[in-house]
Structure 1
Amino acid sequence: MEQSHFWIRFFSTFSVLCVFGLVVLGGVVRVTGSGLGCPDWPLCYGSWIPPLEYTAIIEYSHRFVASVIVSPLVVLTCILTWLRHRKERWLVIPSSVSVVLLIFQALLGGVTVLTELPGAIVASHLALGQAFLGCLVLVMVVSYRGPLGFYGKPYSWLSFPVMAIIASMGVYLLILSGSVVTATHATGACITWPLCNSTLVPDTILSAIHVGHRLVAVIVGCFLVFVLQWGYRDGDKTNGFHILSGVAGATFLIQIAVGAFVVWSGFQSHMLAFHLGMSALVWVFVLIVAILSLTRSQSIDGIIRS
């Protein structure tokens, strides 16, 4: 079993790391205003080699990682699941879906550039990218811990797996709300934290959008902390599940601090990029916790169905 899954573990883990890096690089493209560093697609100023200009290099680096590193890795991972693990649906299905999402993401990236970065398409590009990352995380976790365990006694709505899934979807919603802030250029609408411009009630549409993101963060954050402290307190101590829950919770708390420093620093590009990268890291950790709670190797633990 261990030997038979070595390569799928290797490729899926490497894919997750590379796609995470791609998401972070995409965030750098956004916060540095490099989205139109190459105004055409797939070429850059009609050439396969970008000009030696700051924004063009950043934008083309993002494209290079996506096409030369990530795409082959994801396709190879999918091929491997079909060749060696075709009977394991929790490997085959998400790896196949990841290839479909990869294709749509590449096309949407081209549309984003060719339509000169309209907000709705930019936000959709980010949303699809996070879903793409999530599919690969599922493949990775299953390759290590086995298939999801939807069998036997049904899950209670108040069980840990259900709560963890809801928490992960909440994190996804929080990321989307942040992308709306960026897409509508509402990032700098609130120049103080935790209040918006030192008031409780926003006075403009843009500040309302920004405050909306903060409110989503409060709601999702409270629920997330509740779920993760549950996982830390009652999770399986023999396989590190409780530690992973704690790490996920700590990562989210760090992300809150980073969000505050984004405002306090005057929205500096490196802080914005760090904030975007941390959001993807929180998404990955919380998703791993949720998926692990559903794997059959975890189903004997009291935290799962109680």
Structure 2
Amino acid sequence: MVSKPITKTNSPNLVSILKFLIIFAIIDCILQISLGGFVRVSGSGLGCPDWPLCFGKIIPPMNYHTLIEWGHRTSGVILGLTISVITLLAWATQRSNVTLVVLTTFNLILVITVGGIGGAVVLTELEPSLRTLHLFLAQMIILVLGFSLITLLVKSPESLSRNIKLDKYSITMGLAALTIIITLLSGSYAVWKGAGTVCSAWPFCTSESIFPKSSLGWIHMIHRGFSYISVVVGAVACYIVIKAKFNNTIS
């Protein structure tokens, strides 16, 4: 078997740089989402009342709420620049890896969209539906970054297709991940709409009625419903994985 010669486009150093940048982007995106949560709980969503600048400046006056919101935006700028470099490197050095090129290009579009929606969130004074969409797309960026990293870790498209199997394990884990994400998004929307504490009883909204009597009550209970489902699906996924591990151990 003749080995493939190392060229400028498939150099191990370039691949290592791409891997490092993708891992860095994943960490930064997780930090970005965490900072977004801190912006919400600290009431700093309007710490910078304008966009894309903050009080008309790149570096604004640093009071408490402004510093938190500015830090969130700065992390987003770093993420956007990193994903831009990843996309350029993928196009310049990995064009034969069509999956990687498509994923990185899509991710660049995603991060630009998320930034624009973040601006719309500020300009609409924290519209809940836009904030939820903002969070959802940020989570999508992590997902696409993860797939991009996988395409670099596998040796060939054939090995990638061999390792991706649609079986009971992947389906159950996928459903568990999906229900958890929906639970997080619905919970965030409930808090942003002011429905976080509208239901005083458990497991139903009130002790007098099974069904909620207001739109905020329904928002809260829909979130609870997804949380119940995610617990059940997560438990089933854990059972399947533990059972398979146990069977492999004793066989």
| TM-score, normalised via structure 2 length | 0.81
Q: Among the aligned pairs, what percent are the same residue?
A: 29
**Aligned in 2, Cα 1:3/1:30: closer, same or farther, shift over 3 Å?**
same
- Conserved? CA contact 1:75–1:99, under 8 Å: yes
User: Are positions 1:8 and 2:14 aligned together?
Assistant: no
* Higher relative contact order (CA closer than 8 Å, sequence separation 6+): 1
Deviation at 1:160, TM superposition (A): 2.1
2:106 corresponds to which letter in structure 1? V
The residue number in structure 2 matching 1:129 is 138
Q: 2:43 maps to which residue?
A: 33
Q: Structure 1 residues 236 and 76, CA, compared in 2 at 3 Å: closer, same or farther? A: farther
Alignment match of 1:45 (pick from 46, 55, 73): 55
- Structure 2 match to 1:273: none
Other-structure match for 1:80: 89
Secondary structure in 1 matching 2:60? coil
Higher Cα Rg: structure 1 or 2?
2
Check if 1:56 corresponds to 2:69. no
Cα distance in structure 2, aligned partners of 1:184 and 1:13: 34
Map of 1:100 onto structure 2? 109
Q: What secondary structure is seen at the aligned counterpart in 2 of 1:99? A: helix
Corresponding residue for 1:207?
Answer: 217
Matches within 5 A, 1:266-281: none
- For 2:19 and 2:238, the matched residues in 1 are separated by 26
Q: 2:120 aligns with which of 111, 128, 131?
A: 111
Q: Which residue of 2 aligns with 1:163?
A: 172
Read off the aligned partner of 2:137 and give its amino acid letter: L
Aligned equivalents of 2:32, 2:182: Cα separation in 1: 20
AA at the equivalent of 1:209? I
Kindly provide the CA deviation profile for residues 214-249 of structure 1, in whole angstroms up to 9, marking residues without a partner as x. Answer: 2101112211232243234436999xxxxxxxxxxx
Gaps of at least 5 residues in structure 2 are: 1-9
Measured in 1, the distance between the counterparts of 2:147 and 2:131 equals: 25
Query: Aligned AA for 2:195?
Result: A
Partner deviation per Cα, 1:236-277 (whole Å, 9 max, x = no partner): 999xxxxxxxxxxxxxxxxxxxxxxxxxxxxxxxxxxxxxxx
**Structure 1 stretch 85-94 or stretch 38-47: which is displaced more?**
85-94
1:191 offset after TM fit, Å? Answer: 4.7
Q: Which amino acid aligns with 1:51?
A: P
- Classify 1:183/1:107 alpha carbon distance in 2 versus 1 (closer, same or farther; 3 Å): same
Pair 227,79 (structure 1): closer, same or farther in 2 beyond 3 Å = same
Structure 1: gaps of 5 or more residues: 239-306
Within the candidate set 64, 80, 91, 1:71 is matched to 80
Aligned-partner Cα distance in 2 for 1:26–1:7: 28
Instruction: Specify whether residues 215 and 12 from structure 1 end up closer, same or farther in structure 2 by C-alpha distance, changes over 3 A only.
Output: same
Aligned AA (2:46)? L
Secondary structure in structure 2 of the residue aligned to 1:189: coil
Alpha-carbon separation, structure 1, partners of 2:136 and 2:232: 23
Given that 2:32 and 2:76 are in contact with CA atoms closer than 8 Å, whether structure 1 keeps it comes out as yes
SS of 2:49's equivalent in the other structure is coil
TM-fit CA distance, 1:149: 3.8
Aligned position for 1:176: 185
CA deviation vs aligned residue, 1:76-128 (integer Å, no higher than 9, x gap) = 12222222322223322221111000111111111111121111111111111
Tell me the TM-score normalised to structure 1 length. Answer: 0.67
Q: CA RMSD in A?
A: 3.0
| Alpha-carbon distance change, 44 to 155 in structure 1, aligned in 2, over 3 angstroms | closer
User: How many residues matched?
Assistant: 235
